[in-house]
Amino acid sequence: MIEPVSIEKLQRAYKPTKKPELMAEQNLWVRYNVEHPLTKDRPRKFLEAFAAILKHYPSYRLALEHYIRVSAKCSRCTVQCQIFQATGDTEDIPCKRSELLLNVYRRHFTPGGMIRGRIFGDAGLTDETIQKMSDTFWNCTACRRCSNECPMGIDHGLIAHLTRYILSEIDIAPRALVVSTREQLEGKTQNTSAIPLPALLDTLEFLEEEMESDKGRAIKFPLEVENCEFVFFPAVSDFLMEADTLMGNAAVFAATGDSWTIGKRYYDGINYGLFYSDRMWARIVKRVDAETRRLKGGKIVIGECGHASRAAKYGLPMFCGGENALPVINCMEYAWEMLEKGRLQLDANVITEGVTYHDPCNIARQGWIVDKPREILRSFCRNYIEMTPNRRDNICCGGGGGTVSIDEVRPYRTLVSGAAKAEQLRRTGAKYVVAPCANCKKQLREVVEDNGLDCEVVGLHDLIYKAIIFE
């Protein structure tokens, strides 16, 4: 449990960043920017989209039917939700938020609800509810911590995921995510950061020179090599912002000698579809699949990025061939395996400062990658400090669910949704906060800056790069 944040901070966090005229014109009072939201006839269009999705996604119908039957309104999720604890606003209770969509489902898609609606003259879904959903489901960081605490097993993250998908079909979605996805799927550069290929090549060349002068040996970023064991897809923003992480990735491959490559046609692991649209999730994952197959690669390695890893790990088998889909691993799993086999050696005398580990929700919540990075860190960091709660119960960085990419909501992210994390970081007293996720890194750096903390946010491979020993 954390203390609610001060009223002064709340005012700063919720200060409107958009012009009221624009919001009135768009008929949408939300803090994130929206391109061209539907302004008229929204309830009908929302229900049409909802119906289409229910028709083609039986899993959503299964979940909603189950949830409306068992939801017991016990309020246990309140002790897990870092947003509700920070704001104290009952609208932020996960179960209350989910009820918005469950109500629409009950009223419009169950026989009982439709009959009751007729009898009591309930008009059903209104514009106000859509307005409320557009606002509140984007306050949620989709960390799914509440789903661990629900005795009825309700996954509020799934409901947030679905609601955002439906909303995106009536063109209500953060502009930041939509524009990036458009560039990735239809733009010239084919990646979310709009990095043109020549710029990428320059960057990689520069990094190779840097590594040569650091480590005294040639470490390459192999491009366009066919038949490699691994095809590497980092969050593309790493090429701009996380050079040390990438150099760590390259160094690990150089030390083990395994064949790996980065494709020239498509080199972005980011998948904002996971945050706002299943349609986009599938389309983006297919790009990763196609590029790996074009290069005749054996496995897909995702860089240090939680959502990219989850989107590929679960998306590849789902959208690209089930059991025959290409295997997906995260680069930390690879590093761990190499360390276990003795093919990766790390100097235990390099990192002497306090190091703590932040679990990215998208790889930790389901218990996928929790112990491996810890084992790597413990093997060479003398002063490893665990933060609590951790692993599957970790606290979200506060920028989950794509909100970190929405720059206009930064005060909300760092002062409200990131308040619990800020407090947790402060308590560890560690110098290095290892956050193996492009989104967590960006968010945590902003949290550190806006909350006046004294620590440095790094990737796991940043530290590996410092400590790696070449034979």
Partner 1 sequence: MENLQGFFRGPLFRLSFALMILGLMRILFLTVFEAFRAYIKAGDKQLPWKDIILRTINWFLPFNRLFRRKPLYSVISFIFHIGLILTPLFLFAHIQLWRGSLGIGWPALPRSLADILTLTAIFSAAALLIGRTLDKTARVLSRKQDFIWPAVILIPFITGYLCSNTGLGAKTYQYVMLIHIFSAEVIFIMIPFTKIAHCILFPLSILVSNLGWKFPADAGERTAVSLKKEGLPV
Q: Of the two residues 278 and 462, which places its CB atom closer to partner 1 in the complex?
A: 278
Phi and psi at residue 345, to the nearest 5°:
-120, 135
Range list of H helices, 260-330: 273-276, 278-294, 306-319
Where does this chain touch partner 1 (CB under 8 A) — which range of 56-64, 229-237, 355-363, 448-456?
Answer: 56-64
Which whole-number Å values give the CA distances from 301 to 105, 176, 312, 401, in the listed order? 39, 26, 9, 22
Tokens at 61, concatenated: 């119908």
Residues binding partner 1: number (CB under 8 A): 64
Question: Which residue in the set 15, 44, 73, 217 belongs to the binding site for partner 1 (CB under 8 A)?
Answer: 73
User: Does residue 171 belong to the site contacting partner 1 (CB under 8 A)?
Assistant: no
Where does this chain touch partner 1 (CB under 8 A) — which range of 211-219, 278-286, 426-434, 440-448?
Answer: 278-286
Residue count (the chain)? 471
User: Does residue 71 belong to the site contacting partner 1 (CB under 8 A)?
Assistant: yes
Touching partner 1, residues 93-122 (CB under 8 A):
93, 95-96, 99
218 CB neighbour count, 10 Å cutoff: 10
Minimum distance, C-beta of residue 115 to partner 1, in the bound complex (Å): 13
DSSP state of 124: -
Tokens at 46, concatenated: 């929302």
User: Does residue 388 belong to the site contacting partner 1 (CB under 8 A)?
Assistant: no
Instruction: Report the distance separating Cα 174 and Cα 181, nearest Å.
Output: 11
DSSP state of 344: S
Q: How far apart are the two ends of the chain, measured CA to CA in Å? A: 48
138 CB neighbour count, 10 Å cutoff: 27
Q: Of the two residues 133 and 246, which places its CB atom closer to partner 1 in the complex?
A: 133
User: Does residue 2 belong to the site contacting partner 1 (CB under 8 A)?
Assistant: no
Greatest alpha-carbon span in the chain: 79
Minimum distance, C-beta of residue 139 to partner 1, in the bound complex (Å): 17
User: Does residue 158 belong to the site contacting partner 1 (CB under 8 A)?
Assistant: yes
Where does this chain touch partner 1 (CB under 8 A) — which range of 2-10, 79-87, 129-137, 247-255?
Answer: 79-87
Minimum distance, C-beta of residue 360 to partner 1, in the bound complex (Å): 17
**Sheet arrangement for strand 384-385:** 384-385, 355-357, 432-434, 456-458
User: Does residue 320 belong to the site contacting partner 1 (CB under 8 A)?
Assistant: yes
179 CB neighbour count, 10 Å cutoff: 17
Instruction: Report the distance separating Cα 99 and Cα 12, nearest Å.
Output: 28
Question: Which residue in the set 232, 239, 281, 384 belongs to the binding site for partner 1 (CB under 8 A)?
Answer: 281
Touching partner 1, residues 420-449 (CB under 8 A):
none
Instruction: Report the distance separating Cα 335 and Cα 85, nearest Å.
Output: 37
226: burial class by Cβ within 10 Å (0-12, 13-18, 19+)?
exposed
User: Does residue 153 belong to the site contacting partner 1 (CB under 8 A)?
Assistant: yes
Question: Which residue in the set 152, 241, 290, 350 belongs to the binding site for partner 1 (CB under 8 A)?
Answer: 152
User: Does residue 382 belong to the site contacting partner 1 (CB under 8 A)?
Assistant: no
Range list of H helices, 36-155: 42-56, 58-70, 82-87, 94-109, 111-120, 127-136, 145-149
Instruction: Report the distance separating Cα 213 and Cα 195, nearest Å.
Output: 26
Q: Of the two residues 40 and 69, which places its CB atom closer to partner 1 in the complex?
A: 69
User: Does residue 365 belong to the site contacting partner 1 (CB under 8 A)?
Assistant: no
Question: Which residue in the set 79, 218, 240, 348 belongs to the binding site for partner 1 (CB under 8 A)?
Answer: 79
User: Does residue 136 belong to the site contacting partner 1 (CB under 8 A)?
Assistant: no
User: Does residue 293 belong to the site contacting partner 1 (CB under 8 A)?
Assistant: no
Q: Which residue has the tokens 């996954």?
A: 155
User: Does residue 289 belong to the site contacting partner 1 (CB under 8 A)?
Assistant: no
Q: Of the two residues 154 and 433, which places its CB atom closer to partner 1 in the complex?
A: 154
Where does this chain touch partner 1 (CB under 8 A) — which range of 44-52, 125-133, 257-265, 425-433?
Answer: 44-52
Q: Which residues bind partner 1 (CB under 8 A)?
A: 48-49, 52-53, 55-63, 65-66, 69-76, 78-80, 84, 90, 93, 95-96, 99, 147-149, 151-155, 158, 169, 178, 181-182, 185-186, 278-283, 314, 317-323, 325, 366-367
